[in-house]
Amino acid sequence: MGSYTELYIDDYPVLSSKSYVDPEVMTLFTESDKAVFTQKVSHRNPLVWGRLDDEEERFEKVHYYKSSVKNTIERLEVMGYTMAFVKHQFEKDVNEWKSFLLDSHSDELHESSIEEYNFLNTVTIDDFIAGFKELRFNQVPLSSSVSLDKFELSTAAKYLASDNNGWMLKFPCNDVRSYIRAFLASCSLDSDVVQDITEVTHAGYYNLEDKVRDDAIDTLLSGVDVNSKIIVLTEGSSDKSIIERSLKLLYPHLADYYRFMDFGLANASGGASALVSQVKGFVGVGISNKIVALLDNDTAAYVAKKSLEKINLPANIRVLHYPNLSLAENYPTIGPTGKQSVNINNLAGSIELYLGEDVLKESGEYTLVEWHGFDKSLGRYQGELLNKKKIQEKFYQKIAACEKDRSQISQYDWSGMQLILTSLFTAFEPN
């Protein structure tokens, strides 16, 4: 018979693979999600194993990777599997399957094929998402020996459960991660996602100490680029350090999906031009990794970005400015005409402006932005936050305290960093 892995979402079996894990499924996890512990054999999932003897005292080593629905959704969306993408792919695959039904029976359609064609002609992805929920709620076993008539199921739910080969139920989709993303949409965010490899480990395909997730990812890196880490470029080493540490602190389950590269770009005024040059270099060599270049939200960065206007950037490269901040809409500045509060978005938005009000304020007052040279091409001045070094030091003290004790995170202002990280997560969403 062989040994199988099982992927469970909210304790419901949604995918099986023989002998080895599906590498694409393992992109949903990190090595820190791995768990090894001992439990009774009778605690195995009854939808897969049936009801085992409650008095069974035999114990086994359980070997699995576990995350939450919320974290898994966020990881999938980082890889580009948003619901908008999944819906588009679903519609495409449904149309291909309908064409197959027509072409394979061009002379005379069998009654079952006509019924399936008509069903696919009207069903929506939302119908299937509701069907996933029905299967879980009714605890429908995925076995050919079980009659579906004993359950009160919708047509979509019956269609999903009518294929018992363990591969994506019968969801009309060719991409396993799109299928998983659709199934996740039917679950509460705090439910578990578990890749159980206990049986295949017992069978000798893996050892308990193996880094199964990392090994699986290695097999993908030379293949489809969606499995590679997203490369993040910043204007300078300070930006890199601040964003990278914030990502690990605020979204530790997503940190492993990004690789921050430091090219030693020194100061803010020259950093934007150097970063744009790096982007041009990546375009020139045709690098296939997804790349996000993060520029400051200031005049110097917009001037530097102008040189990319005549370059047709490939779909795998995104060049973004830090997003606008609400606190920057009326921020205190100082210049030749004295002090005044103005909107400094797009004019003085260096990384320091995003480090939180608790860092920007001194004795209850915001650190001033000072105006410098005027750029004729854009018709704007360049603003520079004063005392940048001191602001960075305060931020590093804040983040170090939270890294030591994560319960302190909620005591500080992370709204600016949340904006930057959200723009990073959504960089490849369709426009």
State the pLDDT at residue 269.
38
pLDDT average per 10 residues of sequence, the chain (431 residues) = 88 91 91 94 86 71 96 92 92 88 63 84 96 94 78 92 74 90 97 96 92 84 62 90 96 92 49 83 79 93 88 91 96 90 94 96 93 82 91 96 95 96 90 63
pLDDT for the residue 268 = 36
Q: How far apart (Å, rounded) are the C-alpha atoms in residues 175 and 182?
A: 11
| Single-letter amino acid code for the residue at 335 | G
In whole angstroms, what is the distance from residue 298 CA to residue 327 CA? Answer: 15
How many whole angstroms separate alpha carbon 319 and alpha carbon 233? Answer: 9
pLDDT at 191: 97
CA-wise closest residue to 63 among 202, 166, 180, 190: 202
Going by the DSSP 8-state scheme, the letter that residue 104 receives in this structure is H
Residue 265: what pLDDT? 42
192-196 vs 59-68, strand pairing mode: antiparallel
**Rounded Cα distance, 89 and 175, in Å:** 9
CB proximity list for 325: less than 8 A, separation 6 or greater: 297, 345, 349, 353, 354, 416, 419
Element counts in the chain: helices (H) and strands (E): 16, 17
Domain ranges of the chain: 1-224, 229-425
| Sign of the torsion angle spanned by Cα atoms 120, 180, 421, 270 | negative
Note the pLDDT of residue 101: 79
Q: For position 263, what pLDDT does the model report?
A: 54
CB neighbour list of residue 351: distance below 8 Å, 6 or more residues apart? 235, 238, 239, 242, 243, 296, 322
Alpha-carbon dihedral angle through residues 87, 93, 96, 98, given to the nearest 10 degrees: -80
